[in-house]
Amino acid sequence: MKKLALLLASSFISLQLFSAIEVSTQAQLNSYINQGKVTVVKFYANWCGPCKTLNKTYIQLENKFGGEAINFIAVNIDNASALKKKYGAHRIPLVLFFKNGQIIHRVLGNSPADLTKLITRYSGR
């Protein structure tokens, strides 16, 4: 019983604090990208290996920088074909940075160093 309790306790320690808000329509996305602060939008698919790898970094960055300075949003391209088409997310993972509704930066592929650098810069830290 003690082993089970320890196993459960250790599992809770590794839980993610934040999980990016999932959107699937332009109206939902607009409610975040037009807020006047930087919004980071990750386009991904559950079947995409590089997307799964990038997710760990994305969650770490969200835990560190998410909140008042930066929004973190996720778009599953399999559930949001109109967004996939509009933003050209045919190659994933794709991360777009928005400010005042405009794309200010684009990162294609699994590039944790680039994401970290950009998010640090845009957060003002």
* Partners of 70 in beta bridges: 38, 66
**3-state SS, residue 27:** helix
Is 76 in contact with 24 (CB distance < 8 Å)? yes
Determine which one of 51, 83, 96, 119 is catalytic: 51
* Partners of 99 in beta bridges: 102
Query: Is 51 a residue of the active site?
Result: yes
Q: How confident is the model at residue 68 (pLDDT cuts 50, 70, 90)?
A: confident
Residue 95 in tokens: 């991360």
| This prediction's pTM | 0.83
The answer on pLDDT for 92 being more than 60 is yes
CA distances from 87 to 44, 45, 47, 79, 105 (A): 12, 15, 20, 14, 12
Domain segments of the chain as ranges: 17-123
At 98, phi and psi to the nearest 5? -115, 150
Chain segment 8-46, per-residue pLDDT in tens? 344 443 344 446 799 999 999 999 999 989 999 999 999
pLDDT at 67: 80
Q: How far apart are CA 10 and CA 17, in angstroms?
A: 15
Determine which one of 38, 40, 48, 94 is catalytic: 48
Query: Is 48 a residue of the active site?
Result: yes
Q: Hey, which CATH number is domain 17-123, 3.60.10.10, 3.50.50.60, 3.40.50.1820, 3.40.30.10?
A: 3.40.30.10
The answer on pLDDT for 5 being more than 50 is no
